[in-house]
């Protein structure tokens, strides 16, 4: 008998496929493309970390770990958070090791969202936030930050969208795709509004290690915010470990207990070999992280100044490894610009609108590429702009 129904759920049917996908397919089919579209480090994971993983495999550590992750790793994460960000979490029941920050986000949202709850998403944003809110049964409520404010969330914008159904706010600093960093004072202003409306904050701090110009402030380090924050971080960006799929959640006991229920039934535990590697990363990786950070900062300085010189106005992003220049002077949409740049000069960038409405008029360029590639990309973009 023929299938007669649509078997795919309504929630999933309504999800839009990621706008990045189309570009990926196009760029992947071409030769000689310089890709500034990659949202991950160009460094290979430091050798000492890879070596620690190999050793764990040789020793036969291939079974499941505790649901929340290896005790030794949780202790290291707890120490790391205290040492680097001055936030305290009990490794016994406030830290969960996850399959990337991605799973951490999913688990967090599912743990807190009731059907119809609203979750504020600050756009332009990482492409997964809104779909994850929807999948958890919630309603994503976008806020549009603006180039005028270097894409920093203005606290009053929260007030404009808060309703009695608002449950939580997702913030991400340093931000993907804009590179914007919120400093302590700006976070305090946000904290004030969060408290006033009794909201929860999911703070995605995956780029915290890559903050170039000022001391990084972790959201739960702000007065009274620890109790209403789910902190998400991981190893992908700072430690150059994207393929290992390892992240973590740190949250007050009641949240962590709820999240662990989901994690234990859906994931059991994060990959064991990656967990052993992560212990090495936290114990001995600081110098490698510092070295990589320095290299990103130099490339950022070069790339952003060069963009401005060729006529694409771009603020200096405080963190992550993205430049988010305006292409409004060309009169094109982000999509037209990105498509023509790819077809005519073989430089792949991501059109800003895929990260939210306020990303229109901008493109995301990752400067996590070799200096030679960045120099060549600038030459090609210059030629492209001169031809317009």
Ligand X SMILES: Cc1ncc(COP(=O)(O)O)c(C=O)c1O
Query: Applying CB under 6 A, which residues contact ligand X?
Result: 39, 100-102, 126, 172, 176, 204, 206, 234, 236, 242, 247
Whichever of 34 and 206 has its CB closer to ligand X, that residue is 206
- Tell how strand 363-366 and strand 322-323 pair up: antiparallel
The set of residues, in sequence order, having a beta carbon less than 8 Å from that of 201 and lying 6+ positions away, is: 168, 169, 170, 171, 194, 219, 225, 228, 229, 230
Whichever of 105 and 194 has its CB closer to ligand X, that residue is 105
- Tell how strand 229-234 and strand 200-204 pair up: parallel
Whichever of 43 and 384 has its CB closer to ligand X, that residue is 43
Binding of residue 20 to other proteins (CB under 8 A): yes
Whichever of 251 and 349 has its CB closer to other proteins, that residue is 349
Smallest distance, ligand X to C-beta of residue 379, A? 27
Whichever of 234 and 317 has its CB closer to ligand X, that residue is 234
Smallest distance, other proteins to C-beta of residue 324, A? 15
Neighbours of 14 (CB within 10 A): 10
What are residue 326's phi and psi, to 5 degrees?
A: -80, 140
Binding of residue 176 to other proteins (CB under 8 A): yes
Neighbours of 353 (CB within 10 A): 20
Map the footprint of other proteins across residues 297-316, applying CB under 8 A: 298-299, 301-302, 305-306
Q: Which of the choices other proteins, ligand X, none does residue 42 contact, using the CB cut-off of 5 to 8 A by kind?
A: other proteins
Binding of residue 339 to other proteins (CB under 8 A): no
**Residues in binding contact with other proteins, number by CB under 8 A:** 29
For 317-385, strand residue ranges (E) read 322-323, 347-348, 350-351, 363-366
CA 135 to chain centre: 18
- DSSP class per residue in 39-100: -S-SSPPPHHHHHHHHHHHHTT--S---TT--HHHHHHHHHHHHHHH-----TTTSEEEESH
Stretch that binds other proteins, among 20-28, 163-171, 252-260, 324-332 (CB under 8 A): 20-28
Smallest distance, other proteins to C-beta of residue 127, A? 5
Neighbours of 183 (CB within 10 A): 16
Smallest distance, ligand X to C-beta of residue 355, A? 10
Whichever of 38 and 332 has its CB closer to other proteins, that residue is 38
How many Cα atoms are found within 13 Å in the side-chain-facing hemisphere of 245?
A: 8
Neighbours of 184 (CB within 10 A): 14
Binding of residue 143 to other proteins (CB under 8 A): no
Whichever of 114 and 301 has its CB closer to other proteins, that residue is 301
List interacting residues with other proteins (CB under 8 A).
18, 20, 23-24, 27-28, 33, 35, 37-40, 42, 126-128, 176, 294, 298-299, 301-302, 305-306, 348, 350, 369, 371, 375
């Amino acid at each position: 008998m023929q299938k007669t129904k649509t078997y795919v759920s309504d929630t999933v049917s309504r999800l839009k496929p990621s706008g990045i996908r189309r570009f990926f397919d196009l760029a992947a089919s071409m030769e000689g493309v310089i890709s500034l579209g990659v949202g991950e480090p160009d460094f290979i994971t430091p050798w000492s970390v890879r070596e620690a993983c190999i050793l764990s495999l040789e020793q036969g550590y291939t079974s499941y770990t505790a649901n929340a992750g290896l005790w030794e790793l949780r202790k290291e994460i707890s120490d790391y958070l205290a040492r680097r960000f001055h936030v305290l979490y009990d490794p016994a029941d406030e830290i969960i090791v996850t399959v990337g920050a991605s799973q951490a986000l999913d688990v967090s949202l599912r743990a807190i969202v009731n059907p119809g709850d609203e979750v504020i998403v600050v756009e332009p944003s990482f492409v997964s936030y809104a779909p994850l809110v929807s999948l958890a049964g919630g309603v994503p409520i976008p806020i549009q930050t603006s180039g005028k404010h270097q894409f920093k969330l203005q606290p009053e914008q929260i007030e404009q969208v808060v309703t009695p159904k608002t449950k939580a706010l997702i913030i991400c600093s340093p931000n993907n795709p804009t590179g914007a960093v919120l400093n302590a004072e700006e976070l305090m202003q946000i904290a004030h509004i969060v408290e006033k409306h009794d909201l929860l904050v999911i703070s995605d701090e995956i780029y915290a290690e890559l903050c170039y110009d000022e001391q990084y402030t972790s959201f739960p380090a702000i007065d009274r915010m620890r109790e209403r924050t789910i902190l998400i971080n991981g190893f992908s960006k700072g430690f150059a470990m994207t393929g290992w799929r390892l992240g973590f959640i740190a949250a007050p006991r009641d949240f962590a207990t709820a999240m662990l229920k989901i994690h234990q039934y859906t994931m059991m535990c994060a990959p064991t070999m990656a967990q052993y590697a992560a212990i090495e990363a936290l114990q001995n990786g600081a110098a490698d992280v510092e070295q990589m950070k320095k290299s990103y900062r130099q490339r950022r300085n070069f790339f952003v100044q060069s963009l401005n010189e060729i006529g694409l106005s771009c603020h200096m992003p405080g963190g992550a490894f993205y430049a988010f220049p305006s292409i409004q002077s060309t009169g094109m949409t982000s999509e037209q610009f990105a498509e023509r740049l790819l077809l005519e000069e073989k430089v792949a960038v991501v059109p800003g609108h895929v990260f939210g409405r306020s990303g229109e008029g901008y493109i995301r360029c990752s400067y996590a590429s070799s200096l030679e590639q960045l120099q060549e990309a600038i030459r090609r973009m210059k030629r492209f702009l001169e031809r317009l």
